[in-house]
Amino acid sequence: MRTLWRFIAGFFKWTWRVLNFVREMVLNLFFIFLVLVGVGIWMQIGNGSNSEQTARGALLLDISGVIVDKPSTNHRLGALGRQLFGASSDRLQENSLFDIVNAIRQAKDDRNITGIVLDLKNFTGADQPSMRYIGKALREFRDSGKPIFAVGENYSQGQYYLASFANKIWLSPQGQVDLHGFATNGLYYKTLLDKLKVSTHVFRVGTYKSAVEPFIRDDMSPAAREADSRWIGELWQNYLHTVSANRQISPQQLFPGAQAIIDGLTSVGGDTAKYALDHKLVDALASSADVEKALTKQFGWSKTENNYRAISYYDYSLKTPADTGGTIAVIFANGAIMDGEETPGNVGGDTTASQIRDARLDPKVKAIVLRVNSPGGSVNASEVIRAELAAAKAAGKPVVVSMGGMAASGGYWISTPANYIVASPSTLTGSIGIFGVINTVENSLSSIGVHSDGVSTSPLADISMTKALSPEVQQMMQLSIEYGYKRFITLVADARKRTPEQIDKIAQGHVWTGEDAKANGLVDSLGDFDDAVRSFPPPTRFRRRSFPPPTR
């Protein structure tokens, strides 16, 4: 018996030693983890601690990922996570439009920045108003007398748009400029839903409110095709006119049409680089070694970097604007509008309303810019934001809406209280309409021998995906949608000083470009964020402050 107890006691002692060893090892690993994080953050901050280079050279605009109004994560912390822990980079890196523009403008006046190099191979896209705004800053930089060079093995349409603002564009001898036009495509599920015996109940107001069409059609309706053809054609023409003007060629020479491009490629044996050079899309064909030699001659050689002298955009720190005695609060509504708190990539109705309220109650805030880049979303969340913006306006604080790439449906709803609305010519806005879709699967279940039954105190209480919607529920839903639409056009009519009947004619869910919206009286002027800020009554020299503060 003693031997048994001795064995049990020894086993527990051994187990305790093992557990204690594991505990100490975990604590040590956690400590090492914290040290690595601290060192990594220090190195990341150190990389961008100087707003000016110690030696004269270029600002390397090496944008990686997409450009958005408001990034959902800090780009340096995201990079740190990938470096230290191998975090997934499947989610595209997001870059702040305003940080990029501010960096270009700061570099224009930075005595140690003598030019810009556009290396856009990892740039994956932005909406057209964002690229117009960056292009404006690049043009200002170039007009100051400092050169811009674009380098690339290939250029996508978005990359080439920005590259067209350069003094000189280099292309690899094996590269191409991929110009093909714009397209919009969607999937339609009616036949699939019919085969699955899914019942689709659609409630909507608006001839052009096409978001429900995938559930009830196998193709685009004529109305949707007409509306989409209009705005996509206008965006393409805007693209062609901007780029052709930058390259000092005609839009026809830039994009002569599919067959003409094929004929041109045939004449050069399919050599896409030679085609680009012959048609003045680029200025020179050069290998990476030749480009490096030319940039070294322009900017000098850095022994420490073993490359031409340049500082990456990601290492170029931005200066904090001086406090001029007042603040313009810049509040972002970037993404789909959802109920509740903000999540990455979405607008939280409660979060945004709280930010507007903070700006309204802050005595230092003299005016508010609501930057809208949203396709819409929840009606309730949109109304929460709109009501708070109306309260700020009623409190005597001027409110201006700056529309980005899109301010449609709920994005336009939240814009209605503004004193002034500024849209880019290529903003997509309007879509004044409301819809709802409910799918039920009672027939699907019945086909495999599953049935639903029960009792309720009212037809309105018995709502389930497993049962057909009662006529009473369908009537209630349609009445709710129709009321929401009337409310929407009334808000717009009051804000734009029109009658509901006048607004109804340009509403109906129709998507308009900024140019068409201006012609229809839905916005006050065409321009960019700078124009929105300048639209405030004097004094206009306020310090801009984001609510919440930016992450860069």
- Please give the positions annotated as active site: 209, 409
Quote the DSSP letter at residue 305. T
Residues 206 and 472: their CA atoms lie apart, in Å, by 22
Strands (E), 258-364: 284-285, 301-302, 307-308, 310-312, 327-334, 336-338, 346-348
Q: Which tokens in the block code for residue 63?
A: 């944008």
Helices (H), 113-221: 128-143, 157-163, 190-195, 213-216
Taking a C-beta distance cutoff of 8 angstroms, is the pair 153, 172 a contact?
A: yes
Residue 304 sits at φ, ψ, to 5 deg, of -70, -40
Q: What is d(CA 158, CA 150) in angstroms, rounded to the nearest whole number?
A: 13
- Cis peptide, bond prior to residue 539, ω within 30 of zero: yes
* 138 φ/ψ sector (left φ>0, alpha ψ -120 to 50, else beta): alpha
Triad 296, 302, 307: Cα angle to 5°: 60
Cβ atoms of 57 and 308 within 8 Å: the answer is yes
Spatial separation of the C-alpha atoms in residues 225 and 327, rounded to whole Å: 45
State the virtual CA torsion across 241, 246, 249, 252 in degrees, nearest 10.
-20
The residue to which tokens 């740190």 are assigned:
80
Q: Which residues pair with 328 in a beta bridge?
A: 367, 544
The stretches of 415-521 forming alpha helices (DSSP H) are: 442-447, 471-496, 500-506, 514-519
- The C-alpha atoms of residue 520 and residue 230 are separated, in whole angstroms, by 15
